[in-house]
Every structure is written in C-alpha cells, then in structure tokens.
Amino acid sequence: MKGIPEHHLSRMPDNTAMKQQNLPAYQLRFSATVVLSIFFGTGVFCLCMGVILILSVKSTKKIEINYTKICSNCAQLRENAFNFDKECICSIPFYLPEKMEGNVYMYYKLSGFYQNLYRYIQSRSNNQLVGEALRDVEDCAPFKVSHHGTPIVPCGAIANSMFNGSTKPPYWPKPIYDLDRNNVENNGFLNDDFIVWMRTAAFPTFKKLYRRLYRIHYFTEGLPADFPVTRFHGEKSVVLSTLTWCGGGGFFLGVAYTVTGALTWLASFALMAVHLMWKKKKIAYQKKSYALRRKTENRNGQ
C-alpha cells in the first residue's frame, strides 16, 4: 500500500471546532416590537438633533457685504499684469444692524469660481508644497516655469489664482517668503491664508476663513480688493459671522437630521401598519382554523 506523502498530511485542517466549522452559532431574530422601537427611537433622536441644530444656527449673527461693483476699479487695474506694483485701496463703510457678541469670524466669499474642475485641482505639486522638491513642476501646467525658464514657486493653477498681478510668480503681489512681514513663522508654504486657499472647495459658491476678530471694537485690515471676478462673471463678498457650539451658520446638518428623522418616522408607521395588518390576518386565520377543527371534531364525535 502506497503511503500518503508528508506534505499532503500537512495540508489537512486540524480536527478542531474552529477549522471544521463546528462552532456554536446564534442568529438574531428581532421581534416586531424591538424593530419598531429602534425605528421610533432613531426618528425621535434625529428630529430632536435637527431642531436643536436649526435653532442654534438661527441664533448666529451674520452680515454679508458684496463689494464686486464697489471695488471694480481695483479689479480692473489688476487685470493688467504690468500694474502689479501699483497700490489700490477700496474702502467700504458699513454698519452692523445688531450687536454681535463674542468672537467674530471674517470670511471671504466667492461666487461663480469653480475650484472643483479636474484640471484645476490637478495643477499643483505636493512635493513642492511639503518642501521636498522645489523644482518638481511637472503637474503644474500652465504655471510651471516663468518666462525666464525658472520653476515657479509655488506652481500650479490653484496657488497662482490666489492673488493677482505680478511676474514672480504670476498673479502674486509679493513672493511666497514675504506674505507676512509681521510674523516670520507665517510665511512660505506655512502661511495660513495660503493653506486655506489651497484647500479647494466643492461648489462654485464658497467662503473661506480669513481672520478671527477676538472681541475688538473696530478693525482696519480688510480683504484684497483687487481680486478680478469679472472675467468669469463672479462676485466677491466679505462675511462677518459668529459661531455656535456646532460650528458655522449652515442649515445643512440641521435639515439633514430633520429629514432623516421624518423619513424614519414615516417608515416606522408604515412598518407598524403592515405588522398590524398581518397580525390581524393571522388572528383571523387562526380563528378560522380553530373553528374548522372544532367542526371536524364534532362531526367525528357524532
């Protein structure tokens, strides 16, 4: 008799409950009461959270100032690259309609600016942004090199659409290492405004944080008034807003919770109606079967 090779024996699974698939198993079977309780509880939680979030958002104070047409002269000046060294100041007096308590956050808002275009998003160099290879500009078209042939730092369409009107790099009023003269640690690729701008938005209308105003009575520093938006028929605004415990003043999260809770409640009532209908049919069928069985027993008894 030919023996079984040793390497064939080693492939056989051990005679254990785990490898022989003989472990005890338990299958959860929820009753209708448990399922309906879960649905009703989830609906109540979502509805309560939605109402709380909506009321919290309504308690925020916000003012939006559109300065597209007011500062159009500065934007037109910057559309010509030869005016990169000319200063343009646009002042807009405004008044707060109501008192804004606590810290106030200043945003810049752009409308009609599509940061989600594929070629726009891909036009950047991550190796350059982390400081590993400053000459890595292969994916930065059309802002790869200057007219002298030197690599643009920072390169790419995203970085070079942040400001407007210069030649090193294009559309920048100052070099990357001189973005903040008051704070040397807030320069280069670590500049807060640059980092915020490089985070592309998903929708054509968006706002991004520009400054935090910590309980001050007045301020004089504003947004760049020379950002051109007429070429893509867009608009630009400055937004002053307070925050709540749940973040900004958007209604999306509150509405999402409210809609989810309402749909869950509708599903709960639908499931309860189906359950009661089948339960009624089951009881009627049982009564009919019981009556038929009693009738059969009586006939057999006679």
Residue entry with tokens 């400055």: 238
Q: What percent of the chain has pLDDT over 90?
A: 8
How much is the pTM? Answer: 0.65
Higher pLDDT, 100 or 55: 55
CA distances from residue 94 to 111, 123, 171, 226, 292 in whole angstroms, order as listed: 21, 38, 29, 19, 86
Query: Residue 166: is its pLDDT beyond 50?
Result: no
Residue 207 CB contacts under 8 Å (≥ 6 apart), including other chains: 107, 108, 109, 110, 237, 239
Contact present, 24 and 201 (Cβ < 8 Å): no
| Token digits of residue 93 | 């007096």
Query: Residue 82: is its pLDDT beyond 70?
Result: no
pLDDT (tens digit per residue) in 51-79:
999 888 888 888 888 888 777 777 677 66
Cα 181 to Cα 174: distance, rounded to the nearest angstrom:
11
Residue entry with tokens 């500065």: 74
Task: Give the helix, strand, coil percentages of the chain, each rounded to 5.
Answer: 40, 10, 50
> What are φ and ψ of residue 238, in 5° steps?
-115, 135
pLDDT (tens digit per residue) in 209-234:
888 877 655 555 555 555 667 667 77
Domain edges within the chain: 62-244
Average pLDDT of the residues in 145-151: 81
- Mean pLDDT, the chain, rounded, equals 78
| Token digits of residue 84 | 């990169």
Contact present, 241 and 62 (Cβ < 8 Å): yes
Angle at 74 between CA 151 and CA 124, to 5 degrees: 25
Cα 122 to Cα 243: distance, rounded to the nearest angstrom:
33
- 220: three-class secondary structure by DSSP: coil
pLDDT at 159: 85
pLDDT at 8: 55
